[in-house]
Amino acid sequence: MAQRSGPLVRVLLADRQPLFRRGVIEAFSGEPDLEIVGETDDGSKVPDLVVSSGADLLLLDLGISGGGVEVCALVRSARPDVRVVVLAHADDDAALAGAVRAGARGYLRKDTTAEELLGAVRMVAAGNSLLSPAMTSRLLDEFAVLVRRHESPSEGTTALSRRELEVLTLVAQGLNNRAVASTLFISENTVKNHIRSIHDKLHVHSRMEAVLRAARAGLLHIT
């Protein structure tokens, strides 16, 4: 039996399709660092299950009953520390934008391979975000439309400091707080303080949304 090399990641699986859930459970069965602690096809049960199961990460079907975006928001309200990876059959610009605003840290298509899914779960559990360049581009377009409807690109934002821009640039590259701290030779608590300040200045609620809002406002560039 393989030995666990890192901390155990407890995963709650919420998906409307029994066959898909079975496939995910089988993929996780041989992974010593990953454990499925519960499953459901009922979106209304997800927030309570996240709390009762002690899950570290939620794999959430965007098409689940009650609406994946709405469920994600409820989960993040009940357990802000839980990381959410949303799953969908096809790229859906509106749903993706909604999931990011609700606090999702990753977005995957359901036709991803088992290896890609396991890698994505480990990446997000480690504090990183997961969004393909193509999806980032589509999400920026979605945000551009929303911003044009309500405000100019820089309206409603406060200028970020040089250090905050450095932190946000590294976050945009997928680095977690510890990696950002190491790169900038500052403490992890200082990184957290900078990120809180960035959220306040950009009027956002998640790291991914901060990156996208800053890019749209011309404060940084995503390549």
Q: Where among 101, 130, 159 does a domain terminate?
A: 130
Q: pLDDT at position 152, please? A: 47
| Residue 223 is assigned to a structural domain of this protein | no
Two tokens, residue 188 = 């992890």
Q: pLDDT at position 150, please? A: 47
User: How many CA atoms are closer than 13 Å to the CA of 96, on its beta-carbon side?
Assistant: 25
- Report the domain count for the chain: 2
Q: Which residues pair with 207 in a beta bridge?
A: none
Q: pLDDT at position 148, please? A: 52
Q: pLDDT at position 219, please? A: 75
Nearest to 183 by CA among 196, 166, 159, 201: 166
| Residue 168 is assigned to a structural domain of this protein | yes
Q: Which residues pair with 130 in a beta bridge?
A: 106
Q: pLDDT at position 153, please? A: 45
- Residue carrying the six token digits 């929303």: 146
Nearest to 20 by CA among 50, 61, 56: 61
Do 30 and 47 belong together in one domain? yes
Q: pLDDT at position 11, please? A: 97
∠ at Cα 117 (139, 183), nearest 5°?
65
Q: pLDDT at position 139, please? A: 62
Range of the domain at 162: 137-216
Q: Which residues pair with 213 in a beta bridge?
A: none
Residue 104 and residue 75: Cα distance in Å, rounded? 10
Are 77 and 51 in contact by the 8 Å Cβ rule? The answer is no
Q: pLDDT tens digits for 174-184? A: 788 888 898 89
Q: Where among 108, 130, 152 does a domain terminate?
A: 130
Q: pLDDT at position 145, please? A: 58
Low-confidence residues in the chain, pLDDT < 50: 1, 4, 149-156
Contacts of 41 (CB under 8 A, 6+ apart): 14, 15, 16, 17, 18, 21, 64, 65
Q: Where among 79, 103, 130 does a domain terminate?
A: 130
Do 78 and 145 belong together in one domain? no
